[in-house]
Amino acid sequence: MPNELVFDEVFAANRPEFVKNSGLNSFSAETALIFGLSQEHMIARNGVQLQLDALNALDGLIADAAQSGLDLAVASSYRSFERQALIFNGKLRGERAVLDDNDCVLDRDQYSDAEWLQAILRFSALPGTSRHHWGTDLDVFDRSSLRGDLQLTVSESQTLFADLHVWLDERMAKDKSCGFFRPYGVDRGGVSPEPWHLSYAPLATVYENALVPNLWRDVLAELGDVLDELNVIDRHLEKIFERFVAVPKGWCPDHYRSGLTS
Protein backbone atom coordinates (compact mmCIF):
# COMPACT_ATOMS: atom_id res chain seq x y z
CA MET A 1 0.00 0.00 0.00
CA PRO A 2 1.46 3.40 -0.92
CA ASN A 3 1.94 6.10 1.69
CA GLU A 4 -1.59 7.26 2.57
CA LEU A 5 -0.91 11.00 2.59
CA VAL A 6 1.10 10.98 -0.63
CA PHE A 7 -1.49 8.81 -2.33
CA ASP A 8 -4.33 11.11 -1.26
CA GLU A 9 -2.51 14.20 -2.54
CA VAL A 10 -1.79 12.59 -5.91
CA PHE A 11 -5.34 11.29 -6.20
CA ALA A 12 -6.81 14.72 -5.47
CA ALA A 13 -4.82 16.17 -8.35
CA ASN A 14 -5.70 13.37 -10.76
CA ARG A 15 -9.27 12.49 -9.83
CA PRO A 16 -11.30 11.25 -12.83
CA GLU A 17 -13.77 13.78 -14.23
CA PHE A 18 -16.84 11.78 -13.26
CA VAL A 19 -15.59 11.76 -9.66
CA LYS A 20 -14.90 15.51 -9.71
CA ASN A 21 -18.39 16.12 -11.08
CA SER A 22 -20.00 14.10 -8.30
CA GLY A 23 -19.25 16.83 -5.77
CA LEU A 24 -17.10 14.47 -3.72
CA ASN A 25 -14.05 16.19 -2.26
CA SER A 26 -11.94 13.19 -1.42
CA PHE A 27 -11.69 9.46 -0.96
CA SER A 28 -9.17 7.77 1.28
CA ALA A 29 -6.28 6.19 -0.58
CA GLU A 30 -7.46 2.67 0.19
CA THR A 31 -11.03 3.36 -0.92
CA ALA A 32 -9.83 4.95 -4.16
CA LEU A 33 -7.72 1.87 -4.84
CA ILE A 34 -10.38 -0.70 -4.01
CA PHE A 35 -13.06 0.99 -6.12
CA GLY A 36 -10.95 1.69 -9.19
CA LEU A 37 -11.22 5.46 -8.76
CA SER A 38 -7.57 6.26 -9.47
CA GLN A 39 -4.76 4.82 -11.58
CA GLU A 40 -1.99 6.30 -9.43
CA HIS A 41 -1.15 2.93 -7.90
CA MET A 42 -0.74 1.40 -11.36
CA ILE A 43 2.43 0.75 -13.32
CA ALA A 44 2.08 0.29 -17.08
CA ARG A 45 4.40 -2.06 -18.93
CA ASN A 46 3.89 -3.53 -22.40
CA GLY A 47 0.23 -2.57 -22.37
CA VAL A 48 -0.42 -4.16 -18.95
CA GLN A 49 -1.44 -2.09 -15.92
CA LEU A 50 -0.92 -3.62 -12.48
CA GLN A 51 0.56 -2.72 -9.13
CA LEU A 52 4.35 -3.02 -9.21
CA ASP A 53 4.61 -6.19 -7.11
CA ALA A 54 1.98 -7.93 -9.22
CA LEU A 55 3.63 -6.74 -12.44
CA ASN A 56 7.02 -8.07 -11.37
CA ALA A 57 5.45 -11.38 -10.36
CA LEU A 58 3.76 -11.55 -13.76
CA ASP A 59 7.14 -11.14 -15.46
CA GLY A 60 8.30 -14.21 -13.56
CA LEU A 61 5.21 -16.20 -14.52
CA ILE A 62 5.62 -15.28 -18.20
CA ALA A 63 9.28 -16.32 -18.11
CA ASP A 64 8.42 -19.65 -16.46
CA ALA A 65 5.71 -20.29 -19.06
CA ALA A 66 8.13 -19.54 -21.89
CA GLN A 67 10.46 -22.24 -20.60
CA SER A 68 7.59 -24.68 -21.13
CA GLY A 69 6.93 -23.44 -24.67
CA LEU A 70 3.94 -21.26 -23.74
CA ASP A 71 3.46 -17.63 -24.73
CA LEU A 72 1.44 -16.38 -21.75
CA ALA A 73 -0.16 -13.05 -22.69
CA VAL A 74 -2.53 -10.64 -20.93
CA ALA A 75 -5.96 -9.86 -22.37
CA SER A 76 -7.10 -7.53 -19.57
CA SER A 77 -5.57 -6.10 -16.41
CA TYR A 78 -6.57 -2.94 -14.52
CA ARG A 79 -10.10 -1.69 -15.18
CA SER A 80 -11.46 1.54 -13.71
CA PHE A 81 -14.81 1.99 -11.99
CA GLU A 82 -15.85 4.25 -14.85
CA ARG A 83 -15.11 1.60 -17.47
CA GLN A 84 -16.87 -1.11 -15.46
CA ALA A 85 -19.92 1.14 -15.01
CA LEU A 86 -20.07 1.74 -18.76
CA ILE A 87 -20.12 -2.01 -19.41
CA PHE A 88 -22.61 -2.73 -16.61
CA ASN A 89 -25.03 0.06 -17.48
CA GLY A 90 -24.95 -1.02 -21.12
CA LYS A 91 -26.10 -4.48 -20.09
CA LEU A 92 -28.74 -3.14 -17.72
CA ARG A 93 -30.19 -1.05 -20.56
CA GLY A 94 -30.06 -3.88 -23.08
CA GLU A 95 -27.45 -2.05 -25.18
CA ARG A 96 -24.91 -4.85 -24.68
CA ALA A 97 -25.64 -8.54 -25.03
CA VAL A 98 -26.21 -10.58 -21.88
CA LEU A 99 -25.45 -14.27 -22.34
CA ASP A 100 -26.40 -17.46 -20.54
CA ASP A 101 -24.02 -20.30 -19.68
CA ASN A 102 -24.37 -21.67 -23.22
CA ASP A 103 -23.34 -18.33 -24.79
CA CYS A 104 -26.90 -17.68 -25.99
CA VAL A 105 -28.19 -14.09 -25.96
CA LEU A 106 -30.92 -13.50 -23.38
CA ASP A 107 -34.14 -11.55 -24.01
CA ARG A 108 -34.50 -8.70 -21.49
CA ASP A 109 -38.30 -8.79 -21.75
CA GLN A 110 -38.37 -12.31 -20.32
CA TYR A 111 -36.79 -11.31 -17.00
CA SER A 112 -37.77 -9.28 -13.97
CA ASP A 113 -35.38 -6.52 -12.89
CA ALA A 114 -33.89 -8.72 -10.17
CA GLU A 115 -33.53 -11.71 -12.52
CA TRP A 116 -31.88 -9.54 -15.17
CA LEU A 117 -29.42 -8.19 -12.62
CA GLN A 118 -28.55 -11.73 -11.58
CA ALA A 119 -27.99 -12.77 -15.20
CA ILE A 120 -25.59 -9.86 -15.70
CA LEU A 121 -23.67 -10.58 -12.50
CA ARG A 122 -22.98 -14.11 -13.67
CA PHE A 123 -20.43 -12.70 -16.13
CA SER A 124 -19.90 -9.02 -15.23
CA ALA A 125 -18.88 -7.63 -11.84
CA LEU A 126 -20.90 -4.94 -10.13
CA PRO A 127 -18.90 -1.69 -10.52
CA GLY A 128 -16.90 -1.09 -7.38
CA THR A 129 -16.58 -4.83 -6.70
CA SER A 130 -14.49 -5.92 -9.68
CA ARG A 131 -11.15 -7.42 -8.71
CA HIS A 132 -9.75 -5.77 -11.83
CA HIS A 133 -10.03 -2.43 -9.98
CA TRP A 134 -7.20 -3.39 -7.63
CA GLY A 135 -4.27 -3.76 -9.99
CA THR A 136 -3.85 -7.34 -8.81
CA ASP A 137 -5.98 -9.29 -11.28
CA LEU A 138 -5.67 -10.10 -14.96
CA ASP A 139 -7.03 -12.34 -17.71
CA VAL A 140 -4.50 -14.48 -19.57
CA PHE A 141 -4.26 -16.64 -22.69
CA ASP A 142 -1.62 -18.44 -24.76
CA ARG A 143 -0.83 -16.15 -27.67
CA SER A 144 0.88 -18.92 -29.63
CA SER A 145 -2.33 -20.99 -29.63
CA LEU A 146 -4.76 -18.20 -30.52
CA ARG A 147 -6.84 -18.79 -33.64
CA GLY A 148 -9.09 -15.92 -34.71
CA ASP A 149 -10.60 -13.53 -32.16
CA LEU A 150 -10.04 -14.09 -28.46
CA GLN A 151 -13.28 -15.06 -26.67
CA LEU A 152 -12.21 -15.95 -23.13
CA THR A 153 -14.70 -18.76 -22.66
CA VAL A 154 -14.51 -22.01 -20.71
CA SER A 155 -14.70 -23.93 -23.99
CA GLU A 156 -11.74 -21.98 -25.37
CA SER A 157 -9.77 -22.68 -22.18
CA GLN A 158 -10.41 -26.41 -22.56
CA THR A 159 -9.40 -26.55 -26.23
CA LEU A 160 -7.15 -23.85 -27.72
CA PHE A 161 -5.56 -22.93 -24.41
CA ALA A 162 -5.72 -26.31 -22.68
CA ASP A 163 -1.93 -26.64 -22.48
CA LEU A 164 -1.63 -23.28 -20.73
CA HIS A 165 -4.31 -24.09 -18.18
CA VAL A 166 -2.94 -27.56 -17.45
CA TRP A 167 0.45 -25.93 -16.88
CA LEU A 168 -1.12 -23.33 -14.58
CA ASP A 169 -2.98 -26.07 -12.69
CA GLU A 170 0.30 -27.87 -12.04
CA ARG A 171 2.16 -24.73 -11.00
CA MET A 172 -0.62 -23.63 -8.64
CA ALA A 173 -0.83 -27.08 -7.05
CA LYS A 174 2.88 -26.78 -6.20
CA ASP A 175 2.57 -23.11 -5.15
CA LYS A 176 4.99 -22.19 -7.92
CA SER A 177 2.75 -19.79 -9.84
CA CYS A 178 4.51 -16.62 -8.62
CA GLY A 179 1.67 -15.81 -6.22
CA PHE A 180 -1.10 -16.01 -8.85
CA PHE A 181 -4.18 -18.18 -8.29
CA ARG A 182 -7.72 -18.47 -9.63
CA PRO A 183 -10.49 -16.85 -7.53
CA TYR A 184 -13.12 -18.15 -10.00
CA GLY A 185 -11.64 -21.53 -10.77
CA VAL A 186 -14.82 -23.45 -9.97
CA ASP A 187 -18.55 -22.78 -10.29
CA ARG A 188 -20.01 -21.91 -6.88
CA GLY A 189 -23.36 -20.79 -8.29
CA GLY A 190 -22.39 -17.14 -8.56
CA VAL A 191 -19.73 -15.91 -10.96
CA SER A 192 -19.24 -18.20 -13.93
CA PRO A 193 -15.95 -20.14 -13.87
CA GLU A 194 -13.08 -18.08 -15.27
CA PRO A 195 -9.95 -20.23 -15.56
CA TRP A 196 -8.23 -17.37 -17.38
CA HIS A 197 -8.69 -14.95 -14.44
CA LEU A 198 -5.60 -14.84 -12.23
CA SER A 199 -5.28 -12.89 -8.99
CA TYR A 200 -2.06 -11.91 -7.23
CA ALA A 201 -2.81 -13.31 -3.78
CA PRO A 202 -0.33 -11.33 -1.61
CA LEU A 203 -2.18 -8.10 -2.45
CA ALA A 204 -5.65 -9.23 -3.49
CA THR A 205 -6.37 -10.94 -0.16
CA VAL A 206 -5.98 -7.57 1.57
CA TYR A 207 -8.45 -5.76 -0.66
CA GLU A 208 -11.09 -8.47 -0.76
CA ASN A 209 -11.33 -8.36 3.03
CA ALA A 210 -11.84 -4.59 3.00
CA LEU A 211 -14.68 -4.62 0.45
CA VAL A 212 -18.03 -4.80 2.27
CA PRO A 213 -21.61 -3.79 1.35
CA ASN A 214 -21.80 -0.69 3.55
CA LEU A 215 -18.58 0.71 2.08
CA TRP A 216 -20.01 0.18 -1.41
CA ARG A 217 -23.20 2.02 -0.40
CA ASP A 218 -21.21 4.93 1.04
CA VAL A 219 -19.09 5.34 -2.08
CA LEU A 220 -22.05 5.11 -4.46
CA ALA A 221 -23.95 7.67 -2.40
CA GLU A 222 -21.05 10.09 -2.84
CA LEU A 223 -20.55 9.37 -6.54
CA GLY A 224 -24.18 10.14 -7.30
CA ASP A 225 -26.08 9.00 -10.38
CA VAL A 226 -23.48 6.74 -12.00
CA LEU A 227 -25.35 3.41 -12.01
CA ASP A 228 -28.74 2.48 -13.41
CA GLU A 229 -31.21 0.42 -11.35
CA LEU A 230 -29.47 1.48 -8.14
CA ASN A 231 -32.60 0.86 -6.07
CA VAL A 232 -32.79 -2.73 -7.31
CA ILE A 233 -29.10 -3.25 -6.65
CA ASP A 234 -29.32 -1.78 -3.16
CA ARG A 235 -32.28 -3.97 -2.18
CA HIS A 236 -30.30 -7.09 -3.03
CA LEU A 237 -26.81 -5.87 -2.15
CA GLU A 238 -26.07 -8.24 0.73
CA LYS A 239 -27.09 -11.24 -1.37
CA ILE A 240 -25.07 -9.90 -4.31
CA PHE A 241 -21.97 -9.68 -2.13
CA GLU A 242 -22.55 -13.15 -0.71
CA ARG A 243 -23.08 -14.80 -4.08
CA PHE A 244 -21.11 -12.73 -6.59
CA VAL A 245 -18.41 -10.84 -4.68
CA ALA A 246 -17.16 -12.90 -1.75
CA VAL A 247 -14.70 -15.65 -2.69
CA PRO A 248 -14.07 -18.54 -0.24
CA LYS A 249 -10.64 -18.36 1.34
CA GLY A 250 -9.52 -21.61 -0.25
CA TRP A 251 -8.87 -19.96 -3.61
CA CYS A 252 -5.24 -19.44 -2.55
CA PRO A 253 -2.93 -20.96 0.09
CA ASP A 254 -3.47 -19.60 3.59
CA HIS A 255 0.06 -18.29 4.00
CA TYR A 256 -0.64 -15.51 1.49
CA ARG A 257 -3.31 -14.17 3.82
CA SER A 258 -0.83 -13.69 6.63
CA GLY A 259 1.48 -11.71 4.38
CA LEU A 260 3.99 -14.55 4.36
CA THR A 261 5.14 -15.88 1.00
CA SER A 262 7.45 -18.78 0.33
Structural domains in the chain, CATH included, are 1-41 (no CATH), 53-79+138-208 (3.30.1380.10), 80-129+212-246 (no CATH)
| Rounded Cα gap, residues 253 and 60, in angstroms | 19
Is 105 in contact with 97 (CB distance < 8 Å)? yes
Q: Is the pLDDT of residue 249 over 70?
A: yes
| Residue scoring higher pLDDT (191 or 152) | 191
- The mean pLDDT of 184-202, rounded to a whole number, is 97
pLDDT-derived band at 259 (thresholds 50, 70, 90) equals low
pLDDT at 22: 46
3-state SS, residue 200:
strand
- The mean pLDDT of 90-119, rounded to a whole number, is 95
pLDDT at 1: 33
Q: Is the pLDDT of residue 23 over 80?
A: no
pLDDT digits (tens, 9 = 90+) for 61-85: 999 999 999 999 999 999 999 999 9
* Residues 6+ positions from 70 with CB-CB distance below 8 Å: 142, 144, 163, 164, 167
pLDDT-derived band at 2 (thresholds 50, 70, 90) equals very low
* Ranges 4-18, 20-34, 181-195, 233-247: which has the least confidence: 4-18
| Rounded Cα gap, residues 177 and 149, in angstroms | 27
